[in-house]
Amino acid sequence: MTKNSSPSETYQKIREAKDFIESKSTYKPKVGIVLGSGLGALAEIVKNPISISYSEIPHFLPPTVEGHQGKMLLGEINNVPVVILQGRLHYYEGHDMEDVVFPTRTICALGIQTIILTNAAGGINTRFRACDLMLIEDHINLMGQNPLKGPNLSELGQRFPDMTEAYNKQCFEVFKKTATDIGIPLHTGVYAGVMGPTYETPAEIKMLRIIGGDAVGMSTVPESIAANHLGVQVVGISAITNLAAGISPNKLNHDEVMVHSKSMSENLSKLISEALPSIILKGTLK
């Protein structure tokens, strides 16, 4: 994608990507799901899936991080039509923020009313352990960037979107209740989004804890901002794949992230699958 696209050019690119996807599938998804590193098991329970490689979709870029397949799936989970992004772009890969949130904006353009953002994250809260799940109640943007920087794309939303409820409270309660009903432990907390790609230092983790962070990662925040700009409800779930620096006795590495995220993927898939019909029935979809 060309750097610094004008608002009209960006909107046209979203339309072209949307039109291509709709030419490949008759599904009208109600919920979008973004899968983080190693969290691909959810894709296995999609019924009658239609798979589209990012390389086929106009203006989509392939992810370069292990555990991000670079595919879009359309189908049904528990009788709810969904669109799934198997992999995301990260700001640390060298992309513009416009590119990072382009897939999010595209699936929102398909008509989804709720987006579920999942990620692999480091645990800051000392009560957390590797392989826990955390439902995001709020975030702190420490990436030094915002995807809405520059001329406002008025076709998508207003200049100054409110972020008081960055993560929809009704959906939040549905997921908490679902987790209790099916016996899956679920923490709640604040996600700190940092640029990366280095893991944080122990001093940085101490700072993040002081300012209110419970988990830290290198994604999700830009997508949440972009979706809120579009008026789409957001749910965020972090898979705590490791304890953060200074808490864990071990040095951090991506292999550990991948191992733990894969072991958690089944619980995450079950939680999302069971919660989806409840979101519909509770009327949380606008």
Separation CA 16–CA 220 (nearest Å): 24
Structure tokens at 131: 């392989």
Residue 2, domain member (yes or no): no
Residue 234 lies in a domain: yes
Check which CATH number belongs to the domain holding 110 and give it.
Answer: 3.40.50.1580
79, part of any domain? yes
Q: Can you tell me the distance from the alpha carbon of 128 to that of 186, in angstroms, rounded to the nearest whole number? A: 10
CB distance 136 to 220 below 8 Å: yes
Instruction: Report the pLDDT value the prediction gives residue 41, as an integer from 0 to 100.
Output: 80
Give the chain's residues under pLDDT 50: 1-2, 285-286
* pLDDT score for 131: 87
Report pLDDT for 243. Answer: 81
Question: Over the stretch 65-94, which tens digit does the pLDDT of each residue have?
Answer: 665 578 999 999 999 999 999 989 999 999
Residues annotated as catalytic are 37, 68, 90, 92-93, 120, 218-219, 242, 254
Query: What residue type is assigned to position 87 of the chain?
Result: G
Tell me whether residue 158 is in a domain: yes
The count of other CB atoms within 10 Å of the CB of residue 10 is 22
Task: Give the whole-angstrom CA distance, residue 138 versus residue 16.
Answer: 32
Q: Are 172 and 282 in contact (CB under 8 A)?
A: no
Q: How far is CA 119 from CA 65, 108, 138, 144, 240, in A?
A: 13, 19, 14, 19, 9
Task: Determine the pLDDT at residue 242.
Answer: 85
- The answer as to whether 43 is a domain residue is yes
Q: Does the residue 4 lie in any domain?
A: no
What pLDDT is recorded for position 17? 98
Q: Does residue 3 belong to any structural domain of this protein?
A: no
Considering its fold, how many domains does the chain have in total?
1
Residue 2: per-residue pLDDT: 47
In a domain, 64, yes or no: yes
Buried b (16+ CB within 10 A) or exposed e, 90-107: bbbbebbbbbbbbbbbbb
| 80-131 tens-digit pLDDT | 999 999 989 999 999 999 999 999 999 999 999 999 999 999 999 999 998 8
**Coil, strand or helix: which one is 14?**
helix
**Against a cut of 0.75, is the pTM above it?**
yes
Domain range holding 247? 9-281
In this prediction, residue 69 carries a pLDDT of 76
Q: Which residues pair with 132 in a beta bridge?
A: 240
Q: Which residues contact 94 (CB under 8 A, 6 or more apart)?
A: none
